[in-house]
Structure 1
Amino acid sequence: MSKRQGYAGLAALMAAVVLICGGIYLGVGAVKDKPALRTPPAAAPVWIGTWSASPVGVVPPATANRAHGGRDGRSVRNVVHTSIGGTAARVTVSNLYGTLPLRISAVSLAVRAGDGPEAVRGTLRQVTFGRAPGATVAPGGQLVSDPVVLRIPYDGDLLVTVHTPASGGAVTTHTQARQTSYLADGDRTRDEAGDAYTAQIRSWHHVTAVDVLTSEARGAVVAVGDSITDGISSTPDANRRWPDVLADRLAGRYGVLNEGISGNRLLSHDRGPSTLDRIDRDVLGRSGARTVIVAIGINDLLRAPYATTGESVVTGLTELSRRARAHGLRVVGATLLPCGGHLRCTPAVEAERIEVNEAIRSGGIFDAVVDFDRALRDPYAPQRLRTVYDSGDHLHPSDAGYARMGASVDTKAL
């Protein structure tokens, strides 16, 4: 839900803005809401991610066509929350897990009005691919749209609407969105009103990233992890995951990109490829990435049949850090949260968790450390989450726990 309003004058504002023909350079100097000040020239605008979500899996075709997907003549209006603003945007659509070509007939982008599927009047823009209104995404592939000139707010909501006209294969999704998005029959991508969007879904379909063109933000911080980063136990439609809290603290200076996957592991495939296998796509491939916060490993210790040792997790974290550094990223490592009281959190698992955390705190793996363990553990029972920070399952934080996590990150370390 957007925390800032006041987009009523955008229609008149954007009417004066044009794309320069013959290239993708944008006339961003014309996109403004105040008279130009006599200040030193700003840095050249660059593309930086404002939102992202890792593709996790698929909605089967039959299910997608019935109620949960965008195929077979339906429009999906994805609601995504921004961490930085800009003067233009571009959208990434994915067919990573599709088995057939994904045919897209229309895509639109708009600023969201209120809490439903309605767009702020005058902000809806058609999204094109190679200047064409539609595109076909090959199985396993993705496409990045042409730039769309639109004033993008930070800490606000966007509507990314995708219409797919024909029945096809499985729909690539991020399943645990903790965000309500919407469905409509037919091509309703140009609708500012939300009346046609009569069905709701709790996953993001087709869309995996939104970048903005900005000279204000300094880069992007990528949070990679499992369900605790994905925010699986946070309040839906409230943007209370710990990366959201961090984005609020950074106040538009850095994009914060959430690449958490519920159930994900560092070393082995489970609900998506391992973190080591997806780092190129979900971290190194993110626009403007400068820093990665790594919060992964507890599922490797907890979950059969591939449960592993603390030593193996430390080895994997060291390799992940090495690869990120090789691409010029600063790497911040997070300690593993307590899990005492959870069914799978045996004394043996607790011993392995302590081993991993000691290695992380030693300073030999990462450039900096955020100690989520110390921030959330019960001081009288350090193997457990403090009650106020426990969602109730003794593994995932409550909203208060996520707020504490987001507040624990030393922004200077970024």
Structure 2
Amino acid sequence: MVKAGRVLAAALLALIGTTGAAAQTGAATATAPATATRAAHTAVSTAVRVEAVRVEDVPGSWTGTWEAAPSGTAPALPGAAVRNVVHLSVGGQLLRIRLSNRLGTAPLTLGAVTVALRGAAGPDAVPGTMRTVTFGGAPTTVVPAGGDLVSDPAPLAVPAAADLLVTVHTPADGGPATYHRSALRTSYVASQGAGRAADEDGSAYTATTSHWYYVTGVDVLVTGGAGSVVAFGDSLTDGTGSTPDTDRRWPDRLAERLRPHRLGVLNAGIAGNRLLRDGTGPSALSRLDADALSRSGARVLIVFEGINDINGRPQANDVRDFEAAYRAIVSRAHALGIRVVGATLTPYGGHGAFTAAREDVRQRINAFIRTGGAFDAVADFDAAVRDPAQPRRIRPAYDPGDHLHFNDAGMRALADAIDLGVLR
């Protein structure tokens, strides 16, 4: 709850009661067609006044609604504005943005950050929804190398399943840019970004990118919300194999199933990530706090990671190392009151990295996940997607062609294999 006397220096809602009603309307229309949702967005914007006000009491709790875990760095884009397109799981009355220079090597100057509801397509914003994001009341800030930052609350009510535009202008070369490489989502870049972050018209955003730059999360203030579920894993969670620009990763499908229960879903997957060693992004053990346990409202962690350790170099083939890592994750989560669901590792027979010896390691790891007693519950992804005729392989209907990842149907099968009762 945002307590009495707190000043939201970035422009808060002038009429709190009206905004609460608008947020409820947005939540109710989350599953409506896109045209109805955009109409709801416009209706919400009419209840907002861009002015600083003193709020006695805004009820609710902060819940994570979207996440992208930092996976590496890319060359900086000095002078540019990047308009990141992100898809929310749950809606709320207010929002705040998480930004990162975690993997950077120099201080990062943020010249302007804005947020808006996305229009029908492309980089255009829904008219009237553009908001300036502030940090301690200021529209600019500097993020130290290795640092993460959470913004002030921004006065924008958002419905569930909304597309959001988070625009970041970096006026100078801040060194390597912390990013999420495999976004599976088209975002937009204005090469001459000064003064463009607040443009509702996206015509200046003439270039595209398949990465998310700097933005690592969105939190919403939810009345009656139940918290969030963190999906923690590698490319199988990050969405490799699913259709780009359609939000059909298994965490997206899980968010659809959980929407009536007002639970957010956070995708902390990194393609190429490993459980035991650094690889693409820090190892699961080293990034656990930043990408999962410290996220707003986190109540359940789903761990689906380990296949890259089996297949990587050097190969991990001692099952005891996996057991110790899983137990460490569970212990750290339990210390914060977070329950943990273990997901079995899925088949990959036919993939170039497959060997009988590695399959034996996978089977022994899965036996531990199922029966070792480390987890609060188990999601048997292996059983959900394996081919009954060839259990070392995934079903052909779920295979995008590489025999390891999952197409949209396979992603749905993974999400449907999770018992919602253990998440609520």
Question: Does 1:368 pair with 2:377?
Answer: yes
Contact conserved, 1:19 with 1:27, CA < 8 A, in 2?
no
Moved more, 333-342 or 319-328: 319-328
Partner secondary structure for residue 324 of structure 2: helix
Q: What is the CA distance between 1:26 and its match in structure 2? A: 7.1
Tell me, in whole angstroms, the C-alpha distance in 2 between the residues paired with 1:11 and 1:367. 42
Question: Does 1:186 pair with 2:193?
Answer: yes
Which of 369, 374, 398 in structure 2 is aligned with 1:389? 398
Question: Does 1:87 pair with 2:111?
Answer: no
Name the counterpart of 1:210. 218
Question: Does 1:157 pair with 2:157?
Answer: no
Name the counterpart of 2:243. 235
Question: Does 1:168 pair with 2:174?
Answer: yes
Which of 57, 73, 79 in structure 2 is aligned with 1:58? 73
Distance 1:287 1:113, change over 3 A: same
When normalised by structure 1's length, the TM-score is 0.90
Distance 1:293 1:19, change over 3 A: farther
Name the counterpart of 2:111. 105
Contact conserved, 1:19 with 1:26, CA < 8 A, in 2?
no
Which consecutive unaligned segments of at least 5 residues does structure 2 have? 1-29
Q: Which amino acid aligns with 1:76?
A: V
Distance 1:125 1:27, change over 3 A: farther
Contact conserved, 1:311 with 1:355, CA < 8 A, in 2?
no
1:123-173 CA distances to partner (integer Å, 9 max, x unpaired)?
000001111110000000021111101111111100000111112301100
Tell me, in whole angstroms, the C-alpha distance in 2 between the residues paired with 1:133 and 1:173. 22
| Aligned residues: CA RMSD | 1.6
Name the counterpart of 2:350. 341
1:43-80 CA distances to partner (integer Å, 9 max, x unpaired)?
x40111000111111003xxx4xxxxxx3211000001
When normalised by structure 2's length, the TM-score is 0.88
Partner secondary structure for residue 355 of structure 1: helix
Output aligned runs, 1:117-128, within 5 Å: 117-128=123-134
Q: Which amino acid aligns with 2:84?
A: N
Tell me, in whole angstroms, the C-alpha distance in 2 between the residues paired with 1:26 and 1:386. 56
Contact conserved, 1:10 with 1:122, CA < 8 A, in 2?
no
Output aligned runs, 1:251-266, within 5 Å: 251=259, 253-266=262-275
Tell me, in whole angstroms, the C-alpha distance in 1 between the residues paired with 2:153 and 2:109. 20
Partner secondary structure for residue 331 of structure 1: strand
Q: What is the CA distance between 1:18 and its match in structure 2? A: 6.0
Tell me, in whole angstroms, the C-alpha distance in 2 between the residues paired with 1:111 and 1:306. 45
Name the counterpart of 1:330. 339
Name the counterpart of 1:137. 143
Q: What is the CA distance between 1:14 and its match in structure 2? A: 1.3
Tell me, in whole angstroms, the C-alpha distance in 2 between the residues paired with 1:298 and 1:186. 41
Which of 183, 194, 203 in structure 2 is aligned with 1:195? 203
Which of 340, 355, 358 in structure 1 is aligned with 2:364? 355
Aligned residue pairs total: 386
Partner secondary structure for residue 251 of structure 1: helix
Which consecutive unaligned segments of at least 5 residues does structure 1 have? 29-43, 65-70
Q: What is the CA distance between 1:19 and its match in structure 2? A: 5.2
Partner secondary structure for residue 87 of structure 1: coil
Q: What is the CA distance between 1:27 and its match in structure 2? A: 5.8
Tell me, in whole angstroms, the C-alpha distance in 1 between the residues paired with 2:251 and 2:198. 31
Tell me, in whole angstroms, the C-alpha distance in 1 between the residues paired with 2:46 and 2:86. 24
Q: Which amino acid aligns with 1:78?
A: N
Tell me, in whole angstroms, the C-alpha distance in 1 between the residues paired with 2:64 and 2:42. 25
Contact conserved, 1:18 with 1:27, CA < 8 A, in 2?
no
Name the counterpart of 2:62. 47
Contact conserved, 2:317 with 2:361, CA < 8 A, in 1?
no
Q: Which amino acid aligns with 2:297?
A: G
Q: What is the CA distance between 1:115 and its match in structure 2? A: 1.9
Which of 224, 245, 255 in structure 2 is aligned with 1:247? 255
Question: Does 1:298 pair with 2:303?
Answer: no
Contact conserved, 2:240 with 2:406, CA < 8 A, in 1?
no
